[in-house]
Amino acid sequence: MGKKLLLWKTREIEIISKIVASYFNDMTSTTITSRPYAFTAIGLFALLGCNDSAIKQDASVQGTVIVDGELATQGIVAFHPDDGGAVAYGTIHSDGSYALRIGQGQRNDLDNSKIYPGKYTATVAVTSPSSDKKEEIGNLREPSPRINDTKFSNKNTSGLMYEVASGRNIINISVERAPLDELVDAEKLEIDAAEDGQVLSGEHAPQGEESAEGESDAEEGVRAKGVEEEPTQ
């Protein structure tokens, strides 16, 4: 720290020492008062004040949040600085976009709020549009469920690391939906039950609103079962 100061401020130190020296010259060597010391102290404080190594809050971050290829429509993005410090966050707008801010941000121009440059780990919580139904007690809207995989909402597991530089940053964040297995355990059991019935009785494919992927998986499952059961028949 002291070494750095000397390197940067050699000129200032020269000037200060000249002033200090002039005071010494004016006085007789036997009358050393507290004045030179006071001046030295003031000079040192001035140097501390000029220290510009502090990181400037001069970075802006905007971007878009994508869930399995589709724009997110609601939720929150948070950027946790790796060295501690203020968490920057932004709400996800209906077009999937977000802009980060610290605290209230730049209130008249939120999109250009400034955060500190540095390394960050992001967390995301994408929620589905909240229901219009209101709870009877308190007349509050029911909370909207989170769509994305839980791991993206925890900074230890999100894996979303970004380096924010001074100036403009565009950071698009791509996350995945919560795995279907976890969502509809009960539903899956129903499908499995229907499949078993199908293999035995040879009925048509089970009806239901599964994704295309779910359907193809189900078909494959049926085929595999058929093969397995052939030798026993």
Q: Give the binding site for other proteins (CB under 8 A).
A: 62-64, 66, 68-71, 93-99, 111, 128, 131, 133, 142-143, 145-147, 168, 170-172, 177-178, 180, 183-184, 187, 209, 211-213, 216-217, 220-221, 224
Q: How far apart are CA 163 and CA 47, in angstroms?
A: 31
Q: Is 5 within 8 Å of 49 (Cβ atoms)?
A: no
CB 1, min distance to other proteins, A: 38
Cα end-to-end span (Å), the chain: 83
- Tokens 């209230």, located at residue: 104
Q: How many CB atoms are located within 10 Å of the residue 82 CB?
A: 12
Q: How far apart are CA 23 and CA 18, in angstroms?
A: 9
Of 95, 68, 89, 94, the C-alpha closest to 77 is 89
16 vs 218 by CB, closer to other proteins:
218
CB 126, min distance to other proteins, A: 11
83 vs 132 by CB, closer to other proteins:
132
13 vs 71 by CB, closer to other proteins:
71
12 vs 217 by CB, closer to other proteins:
217
Please report, for residues 108, 111, 116, the alpha-carbon distance to residue 58 in angstroms, rounded to integers and kept in the order given.
17, 13, 6
CB 211, min distance to other proteins, A: 6
16 vs 59 by CB, closer to other proteins:
59
CB 204, min distance to other proteins, A: 19
Please report, for residues 199, 213, 225, the alpha-carbon distance to residue 194 in angstroms, rounded to integers and kept in the order given.
9, 17, 13
SS3 170: strand
Q: How far apart are CA 93 and CA 79, in angstroms?
A: 17
CB 161, min distance to other proteins, A: 17
CB 213, min distance to other proteins, A: 8
97 vs 166 by CB, closer to other proteins:
97
